Each structure stands twice: as structure tokens, then as C-alpha cells.
Amino acid sequence: MDLHIAASIVPLLGWAVHGGILTRRLACARRDPLTGLHTRAGWAARAEHLIRRHPDAAVLLVDLDHFKNLNDTYGHAAGDAALAATADRLRAWCGHNGTAGRLGGDEFVAVIRDLAAADLEALAAALHQPLPYDGTLLPLAASVGVCRVAELAVPLLTDALTAADAAMYAAKGRTRRGSRTTR
């Protein structure tokens, strides 16, 4: 092989390897390591796409109720198990109808293509199902706020999240344990 050709190929190979590493790091940064759900940035990109394409889309905000108490009573490993289980339940509920993410702490978010096709009661029941953990059942409860994007004057994700957040806090205020859902 000619020395000039080899000298040209080596830097290109280096850049290709470097690009592959950066691509993998970016993909990892868009996934929450504990739950495997999209992080805020990764979820937001998908959510905006779904909102633009599906006029019947809805944004949901999910907050675990009494999560600090669960951590303080059963330990942080139990809290992590509760977060992972919540993520699995939300991901399963979304299925092919939407996508879920973890905003941080005990807050989760989802966007679904068609609220009419979604069974919100099934989601609420799943999120309130106790979690078997280390020989005991962890009590899980969540408050869910829902925003129908079609009800917004301008279908923006930020406005949908604000409305879903307000609905979620209204659900939290209704009962001591948290309400199933508020639309």
C-alpha cells in the first residue's frame, strides 16, 4: 500500500471510531440508566413528533405518591425497585400507542397518540399495584395528570406539560393516597 494512501486512511478510521463512540454516548445519555426510559431530552423529541402528527394525542404526567416515605421505610434499593417497576408498567401501558420517559426523581411522563384508545383506568390500576420486594409487598400509588393536546389553543409540548402538571397536582389533592387520574 502506498504510504500516502495509508496516511490518509488512518485519520479517517480514527474519526469513524470516534464518531461511533460519541453516537453510543449520546444514545446512553438519552436513556435513564435505572429505568431504561427516555430522559427528558430524548422523550421530548419523540413527544413533539407525536403531537405534530396525531391531533388526538395526550400528554400524561405521573408522580409517585409517598415515595420519600417508601425510601425511608424500606430503603433506597426498594425505592429504585419501585421506580423501575413504575417505568415498566408505564412502558407496557404505552405500548405502540406512545412513549414514556422519566423526568427525574419519581416523576414520569408519557405521550400517547390517541387518548380515546387508551385505557386510563388500566394505567391507574397498574400504577397502584403493590410490588413484591424482598419478601414484602411495597405499597405503590401514583397521581396522574392528563392533557389532551387538542384542547390547547396552540399544541405545544411545554403547554401540554404545564396542563398535565396542574391536573396531576389536582389529583394529588383529592385524596390522601392520590387519585387515579385527572384529565
pTM score of the predicted model: 0.79
What was the pLDDT predicted at 177?
44
| 82-129 pLDDT per residue, tens | 999 999 999 999 999 999 999 999 999 999 999 888 899 999 999 999
What was the pLDDT predicted at 25?
47
What was the pLDDT predicted at 3?
72
Whether 165 sits among the annotated catalytic residues: the reply is: no
> Exposed e or buried b for every residue in 116-140, given b needs 16+ CB within 10 A?
eebebeebbebbbeebebeeeebbb
What was the pLDDT predicted at 27?
47
With a cut of 70, which residues of the chain have pLDDT below it?
A: 1, 4, 6-8, 10-30, 174-183
What was the pLDDT predicted at 58?
97
Tell me if 110 sits within 8 A of 59, measured CB to CB: yes
What was the pLDDT predicted at 179?
43
* Rounded Cα–Cα distance for residues 62 and 90 (Å): 9
Sheet holding 98-104, edge to edge: 98-104, 107-112, 58-64, 142-148
The continuous run of DSSP H or E covering 63 comes out as strand 58-64
Of the listed 32, 63, 65, 106, which one is catalytic?
A: 106
Angle, CA 110 vertex, CA 105 and CA 112 arms, to 5°:
175
